[in-house]
Every structure is written in structure tokens, then in C-alpha cells.
Structure 1
Amino acid sequence: MSNADHDATEPVTGEAVSRLQRTEESIKRLGRKLPAPAKQAIRSVIGPCYRLAKRQLRPILGSIKGRRKRPSATLYDQWVHEFDTLTDKDRRLIRAHINRLGYKPLISIVMPAYETPAGLLERSIDSVRAQLYPNWELCVADDASPSPHVSAILARASENDPRIKWTRRATNGHISAASNSALELATGEFVALMDHDDLLPEHALYEVAVSLNDNPSLDMIYSDEDQIDQEGRRMTPYFKTAWNPTLILAHNMVSHLGVYRRTLLQRVGGFREGFEGSQDYDVSLRCADATKPDRIHHIPAVLYHWRRKYGVASFSESNLKQCSEAALQAVSEHLQRNNEVATVAADQKLPQWIRVRRAVPQPAPLVSLSVPTRDQADLLAMCADGSLHRTDYPTFELLIVDHQSVSPDTIRLLAELRRDPRVRILRFEGPFNYSAINNMAVKSARGSIIGLINNDIDVINRDWLSEMVSIAVLPGVGAVGAKLLYPDGRLQHGGVVLGVGGVANHFNVGLGRHDVGYFGRNLLASDVSAVTGACLVVRKSVFDEVGGLNEEDLPVAFNDVDLCLKILAKGYRNVWTPHAELYHYESASRGAEDTPAKAARFRREVDYMQQTWSAALAHDQFYSDNLTIAMVNPFGLAFPPRRRKPWMR
């Protein structure tokens, strides 16, 4: 990764070009005013030098004029320049670190090739040869390309570097068969997957080796990625989460760069024919099923540049329907291997990605919905109506915890609601304590599933509770959160990101209901660190196991985040689903934090969270240290990134 790559994408104003043009015009105007003998003398002396200089400047001027047409510099251009461009000092430190590594596994880069344009294939090979980590081999299978240049380039590369192996298939078998042919050449302990026209930054394999030194038991490693155009300009970075068993079912978040222990890859059978275009996705799911989550590792660095918008179209770009069908089949078989009852289909809003619909167990488990309230009869009536009459889940009880209501309207409403056999009214005395109120309700709950519901929640889609319960009952799942919208349709809650504002805040606040968000994160279900207690579903056994909500230290704020972090600490996963949609009028009944006493209490709660969960708040595994924790710009780039580069440790 050189400065030249970045400089080529920097915007160039018309100033340099226009200055040269103005100088030339000024000289011509001056010449027109001179007497003829003077003009002739000047031409004889200056003319040859001028013509020579003009010939030499013409290519430069043409280059500058061409560069003027390029788009202006983006924030990502600046980010790459400042934080992701290696200097000579970086290279020295990396080489020194490599020398100190106690474990230097051979990494086999597996590359299927077919009819690759000569320049692209050569640049891909060059990017491998430029790796700072030297213990690699490149294994390429030419899938019977009709054009002779592919084999010629591979033969020449192999002659120049013995670490490059290649074979030519007798017949064209497409990408899965070609990948298997390349895999047969591999002897490394680990296998990295690379397309025939993409690029690796020079520190890619070094970062993989560092991760393996930190944890030699790893079976799968994947990194962040971006795209690169024909001018070498990088764009569209995908900064990924840690291993995310929910998000991986929506799209292939592993490739690129994906690295696998070779014995694992061979044990699962390599690449399956019939899954062309999604063969990497299928491999990642089968390998994940054959190992354990703690042996899957994400490197939060861009270690792969995916060619886009030039050259020949990739198989997946040319065969979208076939690739989509293969992806659906890969996810469906993954669910079957894990004994999950679900249907798989293209997402309605993002048809290139996947929606998994799970079935609620039969018989459906009883759900106890806890709704704290105080006066505000109109809000409670709305919430109760949505739960009782606009929810299609068959078996639930509504536990309304009345915190000393005095309004006549509320008293009458509670009396009416009490007549419904699904409703129980509980009375809570004393100062407002959200944690204590809900803990009391959970102790009275008859259901095996608990739902924490604010009284300012209103139902949008009738299957919201079925969606949440179908996830909450999965082994290993803790809390499940919903997609909450402001009354005007903007997003209020899309999961919780840690570290924002010193403790935590919601993902994507203010985004449109149907906006895609960062790589689909507003429309795709995902594991998250925490979800809001305004609408949270969890198994009662899990709630009890972690001790419920913290009544002593977190009576009002952050008790839901604390609950979710305790759930994570016990080894469960927390999941946010966009397919359970509700309106949230956000603390309409409790009011604002607008008194000195409330401000002091809030400060104590912040201090408790920062002292208790400092490590988690410093690094949200389901966000990225390359993305900002500024509240105003979710999923914006971090200036600077919070990740410490391994060669600078």
C-alpha cells in the first residue's frame, strides 16, 4: 500500500492547468505588440527552448486535465492517507516484529483463475509477492482459460518465484472445481482465499500471522475489506463485527479476506460444486459449524481490496440469480445442521441478502410482559391495546406494574384492564426504580419468557412478539431487542453500541425506517452487545441466572445495558431484530432528567457503568474501532481509529 495509490485519487483543482494556460496567453499577447525584428530575434533565441518545454509539459498537462475529472477527495481518502498507508518506518517495524514471532505458519493463498485480463492477474500476483510476511505460497488453478496469456503469466510467475504454484485444468469446471484444484496444491497450515483480480495490502498476511501467534488455536480468521477502482482509489470500506452468528445468516460477512485452517477446510470437503458464486459463503458456514466460536477471529483492519467497476465481471456479478439461490441453499443447510426450524428467503427490502424466519416452538411458551406505569392513561391504553388486541402471539400475560397512579382516568383504565384474564395489576410503592419495578414483576411472572415493555410502546406489526420469542428460545441466545421507531417513522432504537457518550447509545438514531444503513445494519438482524429495555425479551432462566436488573446501582439509567453485559459475560448472545417493529414515545411518562437530584443520580449511574464495564465500553465487539463513537455520526469513520496496530504495541 503506497502513498502513490492514495495520491492518484486526490482531487486536483483547475488552478495548475489554468495558470499555465494564462502564462502562455500572456506571452502571445506581449508578442503581438512587439516590432517584427524583435519578434524574429525572440523566436530564434527562445523558440527552440519553448517548443521543447511545451513538448515535455504536454503529457503532464494532459495528466492534470484528466485528474481534474475525478471526484473530490472523500473522508475515506483522507482516512486511508492518515491511518492506513504504510510508511517506511511501518515496514521496518513490521519486519522487526515478524523476526520476533515465535510461530510462522505457512499460509497458502488459493486462487482460481479464468480469462483474467493480463494486467489484473499480474497485479494480483504482484500484491502477493509484495507481502511483508515471507512464509506464504500462492496456489493458482487456471480453469482451462481459452486465452493463452493466463497460463503464460502463471508459468512466468512460477519461474520467477518458487513460492508460486500453478496448474491448468483440462476442462472448465467453474469456480468451485477450480478452487478445489488450487486447494490440492496447498501445503500450508492455513489457507487464504483470493480472487484472481483482487489485491492484498502488503501487511495482510503479517496481520494473519500475528493473530495466530496471539491465539494458535484459531481455525477461521477474517478481516475488513474495501473496494478498489482501476485508478487504485479505495472506496466503500466494510468494517465488520466480531463473529456474528446472526448477521452471517443475512450475508457473507467473512469474505474477504477469509483464512481457514487447511485441515478444517479439507475435513468439511472443500468447495462444493453447485454453490458457484456463493461457494465461499457455503465454506464459511460449514467451517463455522465444524469449529467453535472462540476459534473464529476477526481482524479489524482492511486486508483485502476487492476490484469493482472495471475489468471483466466476476461470476457473482454475472450470475446474480444463481448466486442468490446458492446462498439461500447454503444458509438453509446450515440451519438444518444446527437443528433450527426456519424458512429462508431473499430479504424483501434487500433481495441480494437473506431473511431467516424461525418458527415459535409448539406449544408456544407463555410470555410474561412487564409494563411499568404511572398515570398517563392514554399511553397505557395505547400500549395495552397493542399488546392485547394487535399481537398475534397466542399465550402471554400482561403484568402492569402500577407505580402509585393517582389519575382518575388511570384508575378507571386499570379497572377495565383487570377484567381481561390475561392481565394482572401489580402495585409498586416507593421512589421510582425501574430495576426494582421489573424485578418485582419477574418474580410474579408465570411465563418462561419475560418481556420488558415500556408503557409508551405501540405495536406496528402483529407478529412482533412471535419474531422475538422465536429468537429468544434458541440455545445460546440471551436478550432480544426490537426495532423501535419514533412516531414520525424515524429510527429510535436499532440495538445499542457501547462507548458512545461515555457509556452507550442506540445505533442509527434518526435513520429512516426503510433506510439500508451501514451494510444493511438497519434492515438485517444482528448480534449486538446490548438492546434497550423499552422492548426486551429474554428467557426467565437467563434473567434469573444473571441476577436480574441492578436495583442498587442502576435504578433508572443503563440497567438494561448492564443486564445485557451480564448476559454476555455468562456466554450468551444478544440479538437485535428489525423484523419486530414498534413505535416508542421514549420516556413520555417518566419525563426528562431535568433536576439537580436526577442529574446527580445519572452521574452515579455513569460512574458505575464506567468502573464496572470499562473494558467492554472501550471496545464494542459488534461495532468497530475504525468507526466513530461520536453520537452525531453513527458508522462514520473514526479519526483516529481506536485500534492499536500490532507493530506498534
Structure 2
Amino acid sequence: MSDHKPAGAPADQEIRDLRARIQALQDELLLAEHRALHARAQAERYKRVAKEANREKEEAVRKIEGAYRVAREARHAAEAVLNSTLWRTMTPILATAKAVKSMRGRPAAPSASGFASPPGAYSEAAANAANEPLPQDRGPALDPEFFVRWISHSDALTDWDRGAIKEDVSRFSRRPVISVVMPVYNTPEAGLRRAVAAVRAQLYENWELCIADDASTAEHIRPFLEASAAQDSRIRWIARPTNGNICAATNSALSLAGGDYVVFLDHDDILSERALYEIAAAVNDAPDLEILYSDEDRIEENGDRRHTPYFKPGWDPDLLLGQNFVCHLAAYRRTLVEAVGGLRVGFEGSQDHDLILRASRLVEPHQIRHVPGLLYHWRTQSGSFSSEQLDRCIQAARVAVRDHLASRPDADGAQVVPHPNVPEFHRVVWPLPAEAPRVTTIIATRDRAELLRSATAGLLHRTNYANLEVVIVDNGSEQPEALTLLEELRQDPRVRVLQEPGPFNYSKLNNVGAAAASGEVLLLLNNDILVIEPDWLREMVSHAIRPGIGTVGAKLLFPDRTIQHAGVVLGIGDFADGPGVAGHFGLGDEQSDRGYFSHNFLTRTVSANTAACLTVRSEVFRHVGGFNEVDLAISFNDVDFCLRIQDLGLRHIWTPFAQLYHLESASRGRDDMTSESKVRAEREGRYMRERWGAVLDSDPYYNPHFSRWNHWYELEIPDRMPKRWKRDNRAT
């Protein structure tokens, strides 16, 4: 018997396995090296921040010392005046003048603009809030104490505001009747009274309140409803003979509605006093609106303290599949609600989610509008849901999403599954056709063989996608290791290497690669990307081929497992002492951090994606002419590219289910390395501000109440959101 092992597949498989293990070890080593580099860079950054903070502290001390000096001089001057003969002579005269002034009444209070308002224009609470010192910090939107201060300064109305709102209403060309629909069942009396009082206090008065009592057994319900209807002819109610559920009771209330629009109100929640005014104002601006929704917060069960604000993005049909972000306040054209048959019995607990899904199918996206402002205060109820009830609500929402997708021809084969990270929400797995579209991956590179080796190994050998072409655009590599690797890669029939020497121009290199691509879908991939999971490309392509979608972006992680990219937010930061160009959602968050209302884990629409890992259909790339290689050689070319695609009416999707490491700028360094890079970056930033300034300053997917100094969903005082009733500049 021979001692030799038979040649063939087993030996070949052992070699392949060995190579795979070696490559995995090399990837781990590369990742470890870059984690160390990242940690070192973070340490240097912290040193710079500490140095800057110390400099600011020293400057603040100098200013304080200067202020003390001025105060001392002022005090000495005052003492000199008080001791003067003239002051002693004037004192009795001034006392008499003060007494006369007090008899004439309180002096006019200054308005926010500095103009005098009529006596009594501020309520006591508003006056106290206005006199509170403005904080210099910018607290996060969810910080409870800062949020309370923000409410006082930016959300509370003065008597002047109320008068200006009513004056604005008098100029409306349309005054739609708004039907507020409210189901009632054994509501505690105090909560019911507050809810009805909030409707009666609306600054927009063309409303009706339609109430359905769902056969309450509490004795105070009927007398209160009868008295309310007797006091205000705009209040109508109906008593259901038997107890049904929230869907049945709401439908009964809907039967009383005759308004142009319908607003849904739970029986113990509170509408902001300007809620219906904001809805009517939006309809005046755009009469074809069918659905409107606002921001919301929560209010304590047995008090008035507000908390947990949800400042929402603009209309996002993909986010809606994972989470009902619309909910409160929602206003629908009444005929639209009637067309879908009202609320569906059997979807209790998720009836709002089911309604917005069904109604949105019948209208165009431009007929749905987000109305920024905390117009709805949702009263929390301790222990109101058991785990079994909560599970039923989640299941009902999941069925609603499935039904919605089943009715859409573009969603044939889409599956709705529990979200693996946030189980109260949902994930939609989009289908691929039987023959998956060909994907051409474009990788621009120069030297740095260790990066390219790991990137291509992950792409070619650890990615679960077969119909793949790789176009490597070499920007003049010279190092022997890189040249050897490029020659090795050429041996793979899926790989082509193009030579494009010259100054580094990221836009041009990608355009060259795209021109040579044969795939229906392009994947732009940096050479410093490391694959983590095998299904990432399938996820991205499944979105890229959907009708109406422009680009698809991935969840990119730094080597230390913090987030580098969760979509691009426009206008963040500062540039040339003015507003910034763009930043990244989620930047610096932990990989496991849910983010603002779980946005780090939910597929959603964004204004742009980074080209470090981006898919786009070839036809779309060519239609917009690819990247701008003249004005944007290196920076912001992906943002410009995405905005030009957005002008075609296409949306950009970011998915958390394609997750990769990004060793950011590892192959060529950062822009702040040289003075030449700084000059180039400033030139490109200036181009973006001049070309896209108005768009950059109004990202619809980042609430206008948030500060633009950073991407952290922070509020600031004073609020940056302009008030409609102050547009004539009588107050600011």
C-alpha cells in the first residue's frame, strides 16, 4: 500500500482552508494595528481638545477679570454721583416721578424683538421663563433638565404670540374645518377634562370635537360630556350601546365628523394650543396635502412635566416599515380616511400604524408633510400594558406591515421579520430576482498592499454574492508588494486591473472604473473596508434595485467598533465661519447603541451616503454623469453625487444590515495632514456651499429644531426653528 496521499480535491481543500485561516489572521492583525492607530489618534485629539479648552479657560478668566475691573470703576463712578450735590437735589423729584408712573400702570414689557408690547402681553409663567438666564451649553434633546429649559424659552407662547397667531389666521385664504376625533372609555375625570379643555383652548377656532363614549361604566363620563356639548356647540358626542374597542369607538366618533381634515386624539392626551393652527397653516401653504404629522413628547401620568420628545424626520416610507414614527399628531383629509374604511378592527394597539400604511398608499409623497413642532403631548400610563398586550400590539403592527407590502407591486416577495436588535420593531428583507443582478465593484487604490489584500479577500471569498465583477483602478502603485498583489489578483477571472496614474483624484478614478463596468449595479468600495458578515452585499443590492431608490449606504464601523457612518446628514458643523457641509449620523456611537429613537438600527431614508461603501444602479450613475472630478476631486464628491441623484426624484437608503469595518483614510491620510490638503478641502467645501447651500441648510431627515453644530440630535437655545407667525419680523 502506498504511503502517498491521493492528489485531488481533499488536498486542494486543505490548501484553501489554510489560506483562508492565514488571511483571517492577517485581517485580525491589520484590524489590531488600526485599532491601535485609532486609539492613538483619539488620544491626540483629546490632547488638542484639552489644550483648546485650557486656552478658552484662560481667555474666560481674562474676560471675568476685565468685567470685575469695569464693575469696580462703575461702582466708584456711581458713588461719586450719589455723593454729589446735584444727585441730592434731584432725589425728591425722581421719587415724585416714580410715584406718578406707578399710578399710570405697569410699563410695557419688551418683546423678543426689542419693540414694546401692550401692557400685560406676557403671562406670569412666560415672563419668568423669559427672565431666566439663557444657558450657554447645548444640551441633548433627551436631557430632561435641558428639555424643560428649552420648553420655557422656545416652546411656550406669550400673549403676544397668541395675538400674532390669531392675526395670522385672519389672513388665511382657507380655513379648513378640523374634526378632532376622540374615543372615550372610563377615562379618569381629571384627564378627560384636561384633554377637552386643550381642544377648546385652540388658537385656531374652526374645529369640531367628535367624541364616542364606548359604553363607559364610570359615572362621571356622561354628565361631563353632556355639559361640554351644552357649553360649546362645536362639541358633539355619541354613546355606543355596547363596549367595543378603540378601533370601533374611533370609527363611531368618525361618523360624527364633517370637517375637511380629521385629527386623532386619545382621551387623556393634550394638544398644544397651536396644534390645529399649525395644521391649518400648512394646508394654506399647500392645499393638496392629504396627510400631516407633527413632533410629539410625553407628559407625566399625574402631572404636567413633559419629557421624551420625538423630533421626527420628514416623510420616510422605509422608516415607517420598521417603526410607526408618525403616530401623534396625525391629521388626514377626511375623505381619505373614509376611502380606506377608517380604522380596522383587529389591529387594536397598532391601529395608527395600520392606518398610515393604508392611507399613504393612496397619495403621492408630496401630499404628506411633516409639521415641525411639539404639537401633541402623550400622557404616559404606568403599568398600562402587560407583556402579553405589548406582544399583541407588536404582532398587529407586523401584520399591518405585511399587508401593506402585499398590496405593493414593487414589494413582491418582501418578508417582514422581527428586528434582531430591537424586537419591538420590524425588519423587511427585500427579495432578489432568481438571477441576481451582476455587481461591479470599483476599488481605487495606490500601494498599501495589506489594505487591498484584506479588502479583496473579504469581497471575493467571504461575501455571499456570486454574480460579481471587480474593477481595481490602480493610481500608480510603485511598492513591490502592491505590484505583486495586483498581478495575483489578475489571475482571478472576476478581477480586472486598470492603470490610471497621476495625481490622486477619487472622483476620476471611480468614473474610470464605472466606464469599464459591465454590472447592472455598481458597488463603490474603498480599499480600507473589511468584511464582517457574508450577507452584506445581498442586503445592499436588494435595496439598490428597488424602484425609486438612488444609492444604498452601509453601517460602517471604526476599528474600535464605534460607528463611522450611519448615513449622511447635511449642513452639519461649520465651514469658513459659516454653516457646514455634511457629517455622519451615528458618528462615535457604540456599535450596540440604538441611537435616537433606535435610528442606528432601522433602515431609513437619508439625504446622502458615503461612497466608502455605496451601491447604485449603473443607469443612475451614468444618468447624472458620475462624480464631479473637476470641482470635487477628493472631498464631498459623494454628497454632491447623491444630491444630483435626489434631484431625479430618487431616495437614498441607509441599512444597518450591511455592516463592515472602515479603516477611514488609512490609504492616503486625512485632509488636515498638509497645508495643500487644507487649501484643496476649503476650495471643495466652498464649491459645495455655493452649489448646494439652500439644500445643505434644510436636510429633511434631520429635524429643523436640532442644532446644526453637530450630529447629536441636540436642541439649542434660542431655537433655530423660525416661527411662522413671526415671519413679518415684528418679533424674532
| TM-score normalized with structure 1 length | 0.88
| Superposed displacement of residue 338, structure 1 | 1.2
1:101-180 counterparts in 2 under 5 A? 101-180=172-251
Query: Residue 3 of structure 1: CA displacement?
Result: 7.0
Tell me whether 394-403 or 198-207 shows the greater mean CA deviation. Answer: 394-403
The residue number in structure 1 matching 2:501 is: 429
In the alignment, which residue of structure 1 is the partner of 2:675?
596
The equivalences for 1:140-539 within 5 A come to 140-229=211-300, 230-310=302-382, 313=384, 319-339=389-409, 340=411, 341-501=413-573, 502-539=580-617
SS in 1 for 2:456: helix
Give the SS at the match of 2:166.
helix
Structure 1 148/318 Cα, relative in aligned 2: closer, same or farther at 3 Å?
Answer: farther
CA distance in 2, matches of 1:5, 1:324: 41
Classify the secondary structure of the residue corresponding to 1:236.
strand
State the match for 2:70 in structure 1. none
The CA deviation at 1:418 is 1.1
Q: What amino acid is the match of 2:221?
A: V
In structure 2, C-alpha distance between the alignment counterparts of 1:78 and 1:434, rounded to whole Å: 46
* Paired amino acid for 1:524: L
Displacement of 1:537: 0.3
Task: State the alpha-carbon separation in 1 of the partners of residues 243 and 399 from structure 2.
Answer: 24
Deviation of the 1:366 alpha carbon: 0.2
Contact 2:540–2:552 (CA<8 Å) still a contact in 1?
Answer: yes
Answering whether residue 676 of structure 2 is matched by residue 610 of structure 1, we say: no
Deviation at 1:308, TM superposition (A): 1.0
Q: Structure 1, residues 424-470: CA drift from partner, whole Å, max 9, x if none?
A: 11111211110000001001000010010000001111110010011
AA of the residue aligned to 1:266: E
User: Which letter does structure 1 place at the counterpart of 2:572?
Assistant: V
The letter of the residue matching 1:463 is D
CA gap 1:73/1:395 in 2 versus in 1, 3 angstroms:
closer
Structure 1, 81-90 or 348-357: larger mean CA deviation: 348-357
Deviation at 1:642, TM superposition (A): 2.5
Q: Matches of 1:302 and 1:558 in 2, distance apart?
A: 34
Amino acid at match of 1:240: K
Q: Does 1:79 align with 2:79?
A: no
Distance (Å, rounded) in 2 between the aligned partners of 1:236 and 1:642: 20
Cα deviation for residue 637 of structure 1 reads: 1.3
By how many angstroms is 1:4 displaced?
5.0
1:38 is matched with none
Query: C-alpha distance in 1, partners of 2:349/2:679?
Result: 57
Question: Residues 499 and 424 of structure 1: is their aligned pair in 2 closer, same or farther, counting only changes over 3 Å?
Answer: same
Q: What CA distance in whole angstroms lies between the structure 1 residues aligned with 2:144 and 2:658?
A: 39
Task: Sort the Cα spacing of 1:179 and 1:364 in 2 relative to 1 into closer, same or farther, 3 A.
Answer: same
Task: Tell me, in whole angstroms, the C-alpha distance in 2 between the residues paired with 1:411 and 1:98.
Answer: 72
Aligned-pair RMSD on alpha carbons?
A: 1.9
Distance in 1 between the 2:170 and 2:240 partners? 38
Q: Which moved more, 1:594-603 or 1:438-447?
A: 594-603
Write the letter of the residue equivalent to 2:591. R
Q: 1:625 aligns with which of 691, 698, 704?
A: 704
Matched AA of 1:428: E
**What is the aligned residue count?**
586
Is this contact kept in 1: 2:507–2:633, CA < 8 A? yes
* C-alpha distance 258-75 of structure 1, shift in aligned 2 (>3 A): same
- Give, in angstroms, the shift of residue 558 of structure 1: 0.1
Cα 1:77–1:174 shift into 2, 3 Å: same
Q: Find the counterpart in structure 2 of residue 51 from structure 1.
A: none
Distance 2:124 2:241 in 1: 42
Where 1:450 maps in the other structure, the secondary structure is: strand
Change beyond 3 A, Cα 1:220–1:407: same
State the 1:162 CA deviation. Answer: 0.8
Q: Is the 8 A contact 2:372 2:704 kept in 1?
A: yes
Q: Helix, strand or coil: the match of 2:600?
A: coil
Q: How far 1:99 moved relative to its partner?
A: 0.7
Does the CA-based 8 Å contact 1:6-1:232 persist in structure 2? no
Structure 1 318/201 Cα, relative in aligned 2: closer, same or farther at 3 Å?
A: farther
Counterpart-to-counterpart distance in 2, 1:120 and 1:232: 11
Q: CA separation in 2, counterparts of 1:76 and 1:493?
A: 27
Distance in 2 of aligned mates of 1:390 and 1:7: 63
Q: Which runs of 5+ in 1 are unaligned?
A: 12-70
- Return closer, same or farther for 1:490/1:3 CA change in 2, 3 Å cut-off: farther
Question: What is the CA distance between 1:5 and its match in structure 2?
Answer: 9.9
Structure 1 residues 4 and 170: CA distance shift in structure 2, 3 A: farther
- Contact 1:625–1:638, Cα closer than 8 Å, also in 2: no
Does structure 1 residue 550 correspond to structure 2 residue 628?
A: yes
Q: Deviations over 1:568-599 (max 9, x none)?
A: 11100001001100000001001122222211
Aligned partner of 2:716 among 628, 638, 642? 638
How far apart in 2 are the matches of 1:417 and 1:258? 56
Provide closer, same or farther for how the CA distance between residues 275 and 363 of structure 1 changes in structure 2, counting only shifts above 3 A: same
* CA drift at 1:638: 3.0
Displacement of 1:7: 8.2
Give percent identity, aligned residues only: 49
Q: Deviations over 1:358-414 (max 9, x none)?
A: 112221000001010100000001100110111101211111111100011111111
Q: What is the identity, as a one-letter code, of the residue corresponding to 1:213?
A: N
Q: Residue 590 of structure 1: SS of its match in structure 2?
A: coil
The CA distance in 2 between the partners of 1:326 and 1:334, in whole Å, is: 12
Normalising to structure 2: TM-score of the pair? 0.78
Please state whether the residue corresponding to 1:196 is helix, strand or coil: coil
Please state if 1:92 is matched with 2:163: yes
Provide Cα deviations, 1:295-347, integer angstroms capped at 9, x if missing partner. Answer: 0000011100000145x827x98821111111001111111111202111221
1:220 and 1:251 map into 2 onto residues whose CA distance is 17
Structure 2 CA distance, aligned partners of 1:3 and 1:280?
38
Does the aligned pair in 2 maintain the 1:481–1:532 contact within 8 Å? yes
In structure 1, what is the Cα distance between the partners aligned to 2:485 and 2:720? 51
How many Å apart are 1:231 and its aligned residue? 2.1
* Whole-angstrom distance in 1 between the partners of 2:143 and 2:566: 32
